[in-house]
Chain A
Amino acid sequence: MYAFDFERPTTLADAVAALSKDEAQALGGGQTLIPTLKQRLASPSALVSLTGIADMKGICTSDDGALCIGGGTTHATVAREAADSFPALSDLAGNIGDPAVRNRGTIGGSLANNDPAACYPSAALATAATLVTNSRSIGADDYFQGMFTTALEEGEIVTEVRFPIPEKAAYMKFEQPASRFAMVGVFMAKYTDGVRVAVTGASEEGVFRWTEAETALSANFSGDSLSGVSLSGEGMITDLHGSGDYRAHLVGVMTRRAVAAAR
């Protein structure tokens, strides 16, 4: 690692101030960022840890029924505390990485990083979640802008994520055998006004909505309705672990399984 200053503010205001310095970078749980720093792929002047900000942690239900999760909430906490209110999200959080990673990694960190193989972006996009930052609220459809790219400005912090709770939902992950990240992850969420399907892991453009499947499932919520719908392998990631065609195929399989498993 390169040398850097380390700061651990206890209030959001102090964190925002610390991040206004040149080349300062926010540190969530660090489960992706620290390995990156070890490889010397980033050279911040200062790391601003968000783990000391109590206000950014925790889960509650808002007046309009959305599940609100503080940006500094760990995956383990989400897995535990959303189990009754939003089981699909709890399942997703409970299968990110491994137990030790889930005890440190945070939802805000994951969404700010927007790794193309991360799980959370699919949940946020499929539920049309709202990402609340220190300065504004951003709808998920506007937030994700390609792999590792989001609508966040320099120094902007995801303080909370608000998930409208669906009638039924499921997350199906097919793991890349080495990293155990999502080779394909499909989050399917059914609302009274329609179904949204978001896919992570597969596309060179990062998380995306599979609109054909959404249309088919909105018309008829059953696995059979997907029989005529398929995805092209074009634009899907091809690597050591599988071709674009394979990933496209898996998206179909995982979506059907998500429909069958939805609760």
Chain B
Amino acid sequence: MSKVAMTVNGKSVSGDAKGNTLLVEFLREDLRLTGTHVGCDTSQCGACVVHVNGKAVKACTMFAAEADGAEVTTIEGMANADGSLNVIQQAFQDHHGLQCGFCTPGMVMSAAALLKENPKPTEAEVRDYLEGNICRCTGYHNIVKAIMAASGQDVGAIAAE
């Protein structure tokens, strides 16, 4: 066990972590931030994507100790200050970009990272950026649409229902 301390969603937190404690385990079990999900064990599904120091990473493929001292943002930290859905979350609801909700936190975190790098992505750029986020419910149609809408683009003209 060693002490790890980090800032999660703007709050300083600390706890004990074993060497093999993954960041996602620390978030889910120690901090009870259960919005970050685990959908695979080969680092492919992306349900666990969080931001560490502003960059999207897979929390299942990083040790908690490696996030010592870092700024971490999870899905629980994405809403507006007044608790309302932020522009990406709202676009996901408006465009039905989620069904079972399990992949959704990772999708939202990846979308946020994309729009930071590329504020007006094309359809192809969105699809390419989501390579590491698997959704089994939506067929991606409304996820892609939601992300483009969140970027301020008129998706009515882009994608049919």
**What is the interface of chain A, defined by CB distance below 8 A to chain B?**
1-6, 8, 30-31, 34-35, 37-39, 46-47, 49, 51, 76, 97-101, 103-104, 179-180
Contact = CB atoms under 8 A, between A and B. Distances in A.
17 contacts: A6-B20, A6-B63, A6-B65, A30-B62, A30-B66, A31-B61, A34-B60, A34-B61, A39-B41, A49-B66, A51-B66, A98-B129, A99-B110, A99-B113, A100-B113, A101-B132, A103-B56
B49 interface: yes
Interface in B25-54: 41-44, 46, 49
B20 A37 contact: yes
Contact of B65 (A8, A101, A104): A8
Interface residues of B, number: 30
A224 to B, nearest CB: 31
A93 B54 CA distance: 20
B147 to A, nearest CB: 13
Contacts of A30: 61-63, 66
A34 B62 contact: yes
Contact of A35 (B41, B66, B132): B41
A49 B131 contact: no
B46 A6 contact: no
B18 interface: yes
A170 B59 CA distance: 33
B58 interface: yes
B71 interface: no
Given A38-B41, A99-B129, A104 B18 contact: no
Interface string B1-28: 0100000000000000011101000000
B3 to A, nearest CB: 12
B19 A34 contact: no
A70 B61 CA distance: 22
A103 B57 contact: yes
B144 interface: no
Contacts of A76: 55
B72 interface: no
A108 B91 CA distance: 39
B114 interface: yes
Nearest to B54: A103
Contacts of A34: 22, 43, 60-63
A98 B57 CA distance: 10
B19 A6 contact: yes
Given A1-B20, A3-B19, A35-B41, A97 B62 contact: no
A76 B55 CA distance: 10
A30 B133 CA distance: 18
Contacts of B66: 8, 30, 49, 51
Contacts of B18: 3, 6
A76 B58 CA distance: 14
Contacts of B114: 99
Nearest to A45: B19
A179 B58 CA distance: 16
A8 B68 contact: yes
B121 to A, nearest CB: 12
B122 to A, nearest CB: 16
Contacts of A8: 65-66, 68
B53 to A, nearest CB: 9
A19 B49 CA distance: 30
Contacts of B62: 30, 34, 104
Given A100-B57, A103-B55, A4 B110 contact: no
B8 to A, nearest CB: 18
Contacts of B19: 3-6, 46-47
A30 B19 CA distance: 14
A229 B129 CA distance: 36
